[in-house]
Amino acid sequence: MRVHRVAILALDEVMPLDLAIPAQIFSARETPYQTTVCTFDTKVHTTGGFAVVTDGDLDTYAPLTP
């Protein structure tokens, strides 16, 4: 099965549900997706009052594109 790469862009002041839904859908078992959450920086704040920290920013994941 071919694996598809999906990047979820988290912008500052993102609604937690808007970030969680695609992450949940594309990260489920038995799907052909490799999911990564990307940000312009490595940290964004949510409207829920907490921050999301990623392993890298968009430049980190840019080499993954064909």
Mean pLDDT of 42-58: 90
pLDDT of residue 65: 54
22-45 pLDDT, tens digit each? 999 998 888 899 888 988 888 999
Q: Return the HEC string of the chain.
A: CCCEEEEEECCCCECHHHHHHHHHHHHCCCCCEEEEEECCCCEEEECCCCEEECCCCHHHHHHHCC
Mean pLDDT across the chain: 87
pTM for the full model? Answer: 0.77
- The proportion of the chain whose per-residue pLDDT surpasses 70, expressed as a percent, equals 91
| More confident site: 36 or 59 | 36
